[in-house]
Amino acid sequence: MAWKSRTRSLQVFDTELSADTVEWCPVAHCHGFLACGTYELQKAKGEDGASSRTGRLYLLEYQREALSPPLTERQRIETPAILDLKWCHVPVSGKVVLGLAAATGELQLYALSDCQEGASNLQSLSSVELGAGKLALSLDWSTGRMDSSDVRVICSDSAGHVSVLSLDEGALMTLSQWKAHDFEAWISAFSYWDTQLVYSGGDDCKLKGWDLRIGPSSPTFVSKRHSMGVCSIHSNPHREHLLATGSYDETILLWDGRNMRQPFSETSLGGGVWRLKWHPTHQHLLLAACMHNDFHILHCRQATDSHEGACPVLASYILHNSLAYGADWSRLSLEQPAPGSPPAAEPKERLADSGGHLRIQYESPTASFDTSLENDCGQYIPEGIAPPPRSSNAADAVTPDEEISSLSFLLASCSFYDHMLHLWRWDWVPVEASGRNRSTLTLP
């Protein structure tokens, strides 16, 4: 039986400042909470002025029973610019903990209180400075397989360092810190199956592995398989040894952790792959935020089973108008497929039709390089980028891993210059069900 997939926008939220990271809470009784981080560069005025990076942390809540809109802002906190944020997958000393990587070079922790009392808010819990003059760029928790026996966090920074920290009674303590990359260490991550193994990726185009048991004096491997900066790494929480990496080189590579000499799968997505997120319950679904080419959902079963071939794109969300940075799956269940509707119009104005003045300078989050990528509206200037490999034959031939009637998922994504957070859903249904439900179902 053939299956069809469809994405549909549910709500758009203006974050006011440039949005670059978003994540749903993975803790069971708090799945409806969503955190979003923003980043704003305040350029200096005058020759002697200093630029500053400011941000804002949003706490939002999804309520299916709400008439409109389903996503409600619960709290906003003014912070330094936020480069990354992630919830700890398990409670720590009874607290639901959110970590954020700040432009001040700090790892900051917040605790979510009153999760089930209707008056939820984030309260500052702890912070630690990774080093003067640095920007904290990424973080990951060791708890990806929902294991509470060993709670640690790993961070990377703009000076190329990686830090591993423990959390004891809410207090952060640095266990180790080392120079991992020549330039920005864009990303760091745990192996969720053996949390003594960690990975890092940097602007030096290198992907590295480290074994904390023998110390960080030398990496366990160094790969130069990516041709540009490595900016995303995610260990699959369901399948041991499976690792996904993404890069400015516009490709996703899948690796077997037992053999890191070569990836076993390569998929080109036509845009720098800034973030990758495996689905929290479906082991073969992979969400990609592709800076200059929107958000895509890939199915990796055939590639992981046969250890060859690209991952077909099942669905794409194209309604953002700027850099696609943050994206995440919700663990909330959506029982009903979305109703049929006319296809949404492509919002992106073609460069040839815009007639606007081009701004030929794009500033990276760390202000470390400039390239000709954006116009005045923050829209990407295409440079011969190929679309994702979503041929109807490849995508339509893919079916779910188990016998089910349909799949429906809730997702959130955010984009930079247009400072927008989007709530959307993806439905994957058999062709017959897709036609039958076209006029009978209503959105939550």
pLDDT tens per residue across span 108-143: 999 999 776 667 899 999 999 999 999 999 999 999
Domain that holds residue 350: 3-436
Tokens of 331: 């663990």
Residue 386 falls inside a structural domain: yes
Residue 441 falls inside a structural domain: no
pLDDT tens sequence across 176-222: 999 999 999 999 999 999 999 999 999 999 999 999 999 988 999 99
Residue 26 falls inside a structural domain: yes
Residue 229 falls inside a structural domain: yes
| CA–CA dist 153, 172 (Å, integer) | 9
Residue 38: strand pairing partners: 19
Question: Whole-model pTM?
Answer: 0.86
- The CATH number linked to 30 is 2.130.10.10
Q: In what side-by-side order are the strands of the sheet with 324-329?
A: 3-14, 420-430, 407-415, 324-329
Residue 443 falls inside a structural domain: no
Question: Stretch 249-270: mean pLDDT, rounded?
Answer: 97
Please count the structural domains in the chain: 1
Look at residue 30 in the predicted model and tell me its pLDDT. 95
Residue 255 falls inside a structural domain: yes
Residue 442 falls inside a structural domain: no
Residue 137 falls inside a structural domain: yes
